[in-house]
A = this chain, B = another copy of it.
Amino acid sequence: MKIKNFKSRYFEDYILGETITHSVPRTVTEGDVSIYLATTGSRFALNYSEEFSKKLGFKSIPLDDILSFHLVFGRTVPDLSLNAIANLGYAGVNFVKPIFIGDTVSAESKIIGLKENSNGKTGTVYVESVGKNQNGEIILTYYRWLMMRKKNFELSNTEKVIPSLPKEVPFSDFTIPQDINLDAWNSDITGSNAFYDDYNINEEIHHLDGQTIEEAEHQLATRLYQNNARVHFNQHVEKEGRFGKRIIYGGYIISLARAISCNGFANTIKIAAIHSGTHSAPTFSGDTIYAWSKVLEKKELDKEIGALKIRTLASKNNSKIIFPDEKLPDNIVLDIIYSILIPIK
């Protein structure tokens, strides 16, 4: 088939074990970083100060890890997301190597599981996606599973393969930046004097700021990642859809929650892993996003660096801090568990 007006793939188009090379490798520029900042308001010093990043031993400014994730994810959208009915989940995002301005990001996804649903109309596709730089080095990896449309509504009774996905990325798989000079880590620069020892398990942190999202803002951000999933951009279609309006890319909510939580984790060296994430409710233009976090676990990785496992909730239009044990209230839009590396001082 010659690809001219590509409608993306259906469940039947995925083959167990196949590796899809995603198109349009993307060279990261200073412009991308500025737009990321302008659409999120992040204040993590390492990602915006060349002076600071070089003193720490980086060759230049490393990208915000969530921006790196979006750039890899964006590559995969035409092949994975366009016909997806639902992003059922993702897990095991392991941030292996930072991206620097000038790097070219490419991505590939391996089909690791397929499960036809009993209604015959849909199926679940499990993938392992890998982002690489221009030298072929792995930037990040993650698992994702999606519910896809079928072309043919008869049951095909293909073999059901459900992979066992990791519940979390273990500490032993975390990558610590090589040769980092933490003597240069400086509270005056990051804006916070809270380090590894200052956090307690079960401690809750309210990140205070709320950010109201405009339609233009999430569209600009999502286009920047070349994520062209239609639900984010086409009001002519969406006005007849389930919500009557465009749905904001869930990753943009992760970005906002992470940017807001700089007031709480300003001394982050890097995100080591995102263990799991749930977009528990959709967000729309006009919603105001708040975030709060709970420290779940602590681990000293070496003498200088510790890991905090954090659960962050983001809400829309409600700033009241709450960590429900069971069902999430309706206004919670994101429930994410991730680990950061932070200096021990």
CB distance from A236 to the nearest CB of B (A): 3
Give A53 Cβ to nearest chain B Cβ, in Å: 9
Give chain A's interface secondary structure class.
Answer: mixed
Determine whether the beta carbon of B4 is less than 8 Å from that of A51: no
- Cα–Cα, bound, A289→B162 (Å): 40
Which residues A10-69 have CB closer than 8 A to chain B? Answer: 21, 23-27, 29-35, 37-41, 43, 45, 48-52, 61
Complex interface: stretch among A89-97, A189-197, A322-330: A189-197
Known: A32-B31, A34-B29, A216-B217. A192 touches B233 (CB 8 A): no
The 10 A-B pairs at the shortest CB distance, nearest first, are namely A31-B34, A23-B191, A236-B288, A29-B30, A216-B216, A31-B31, A214-B216, A212-B235, A41-B223, A27-B50
Copies of this chain present = 3
User: Known contacts A24-B45, A27-B51, A29-B34: does B192 contact A3 (CB below 8 Å)?
Assistant: yes
Kindly state whether residue A215 has any CB partner on chain B within 8 Å.
yes
- Give the distance in Å from the alpha carbon of A291 to the alpha carbon of B113 in the complex: 36
Question: Which chain B residues lie closer than 8 Å to A192 at the CB level?
Answer: 2-4, 6, 23
The residue on B at minimum CB distance from A287 is: B236
Chain B residue numbers with a CB within 8 Å of A120 are: none
What residues of chain A have their CB less than 8 Å away from a CB belonging to chain B?
Answer: 2-7, 21, 23-27, 29-35, 37-41, 43, 45, 48-52, 61, 78, 102, 104, 134, 188-194, 198, 205-212, 214-217, 219-221, 223-224, 226, 228, 230, 233-237, 246, 263-264, 266, 286, 288, 317, 319
Contact B24–A35 (Cβ < 8 Å) = no
Q: Which residue of B lies closest to A1 (CB)?
A: B193
Contact partner of A194 among B3, B24, B223, B228, CB < 8 A? B3
Please determine whether A212 and B230 come into contact, CB atoms closer than 8 angstroms.
no
CB distance from A112 to the nearest CB of B (A): 21
The listed residue (B220, B221, B236) touching A210 by CB distance below 8 A is B236
User: Is A35 a contact partner of B33 (Cβ separation < 8 A)?
Assistant: no
Residues of B within 8 A of A224 (CB): 34, 37-38
Q: Are A5 and B214 closer than 8 Å at their CB atoms?
A: no
Partner of A208, one of B7, B27, B34, B286: B7
